[in-house]
Amino acid sequence: MKVIIDGLTCEAESGEYLLQIAKRNHINIPTLCHEEALAGLATCRICIVEVMDARQKAEERAFGQLNDDCGEKDDRKRKIVTACVYPVVAEIEVLTNSEKLRDMRKAVLTLLMARAPQSDAIGMLAKEYGVEQNHRWSSREDEKCILCGLCVAACDKMGTGAIATVNRGTTRTVSTPFEEPAESCIGCCSCASVCPSGAIPFTDLHGKRTIWNKEFELVSCSWCGEVIGTKEQLEYVGKRNGPSADVHGGEMLCEHCRAVREASRLKWVSQPGRTFA
């Protein structure tokens, strides 16, 4: 099926998300809350695009029940959708960078900038869109979190569910249960690494990791000394996936060293007369 994005004709499978199609064709749509593995949040609304759908328009005419005047010169109805979750099921034409979209993104960024003045991700986009800090609005100077929800989704995906969004409306935040160190947190740092804003602080110091007000013992690679993860994390993964293949004769290896070992193992096996114990 064909999709025309900013004038460029692209091939697409039915049901494919617009963002994927655009990416494949090197069309850049800004995103903040999108991660391939954690798709579907659609909370930041920065990836908005305009979709014109000839068929839908015809259908609406036939039923004659929806408002016809959408104030567009173009005969086809335009609607604003978020590219990251919009599945393409019909031949459509898409604009990703119209003046209207840029203006709307500017409004979204103005709001985000006021919320999280310290967020790097916002800073860069804000510059690109010429957004300046609104000084009349109150902000928490040190705030970085834009409440995209990626951290919660990442933690859920780990199966740990140690953090969640709490409160409704304008008081919403991300937090551990009752803001106490979470029992189920394993210190894996998935949340921190997926955060687009660098809003989840953690430290790895003297063999200890601190995140979400909880301290974890760090486990390092027996060969190179690189940090592999926390003890709780490795135990958790071990329980979930069966005994970990990395634990070998009390040895804990990082990914790199494991690869080296695998390679040398293969060498040993391929040498006639040698058996691997």
Residues that bind other proteins (CB under 8 A): 40, 42-46, 48, 63-65, 67, 79-82, 85-87, 103-104, 107-108, 111-112, 114-115, 136-138, 146-147, 149, 165, 167-172
Residue pair 82/47 in contact (Cβ under 8 Å)? The answer is yes
Residue from 100, 102, 109 nearest 70 by CA: 100
Question: What are the DSSP calls for 133-196, one per residue?
Answer: --TTS---TT-------HHHHHHHHHT----EEESSGGG-EEESGGGSPPTT-----HHHHH-T
Instruction: Output the CA–CA distances (angstroms, integers) from residue 59 to 21, 52, 155, in the order listed.
Output: 26, 13, 42
Residue 146 sits in the site that holds ligand SF4 (CB under 6 A): yes
Residue 147 sits in the site that holds ligand SF4 (CB under 6 A): yes
Token look-up 């500017």 returns: 106
- Closer by beta carbon to ligand FES, 44 or else 211: 44
Among 5, 21, 27, 44, binds ligand FES (CB under 6 A): 44
Residue from 35, 76, 71 nearest 53 by CA: 76
- Closer by beta carbon to ligand FES, 79 or else 267: 79
185 binds, among ligand FES, ligand SF4, other proteins, none (CB under 5 to 8 A by kind): ligand SF4
Instruction: Output the CA–CA distances (angstroms, integers) from residue 247 to 119, 200, 216, in the order listed.
Output: 39, 30, 19
Residue 164 sits in the site that holds ligand FES (CB under 6 A): no
Our measurement of the distance from residue 237's CA atom to the centroid of its chain's CA atoms, rounded to an integer in Å, reads: 22
Residue from 37, 42, 26, 38 nearest 84 by CA: 42
Residues 185-224 close enough to bind ligand SF4 by CB under 6 A: 185-191, 194-197, 199-200, 211-212
Residue 82 sits in the site that holds ligand SF4 (CB under 6 A): no
Neighbours of 203 (CB within 10 A): 10
Residue 125 sits in the site that holds ligand SF4 (CB under 6 A): no
Backbone angles phi, psi at 128, to 5 degrees: -60, -35
Residue 160 sits in the site that holds ligand FES (CB under 6 A): no
Among 49, 88, 162, 252, binds ligand SF4 (CB under 6 A): 162
Nearest approach, Cβ of residue 35 and ligand FES (Å)? 9
Nearest approach, Cβ of residue 253 and other proteins (Å)? 40
* Cα–Cα distance for residue pair 214/94, rounded to 1 Å: 47
Residue 27 sits in the site that holds ligand FES (CB under 6 A): no
47 binds, among ligand SF4, other proteins, ligand FES, none (CB under 5 to 8 A by kind): ligand FES
Token look-up 């949340």 returns: 191
Binding site for ligand SF4 (CB under 6 A): 145-151, 154-155, 158, 160, 162-163, 174, 185-191, 194-197, 199-200, 211-212
Question: Applying CB under 6 A, which residues contact ligand FES?
Answer: 31-34, 42-47, 82, 84
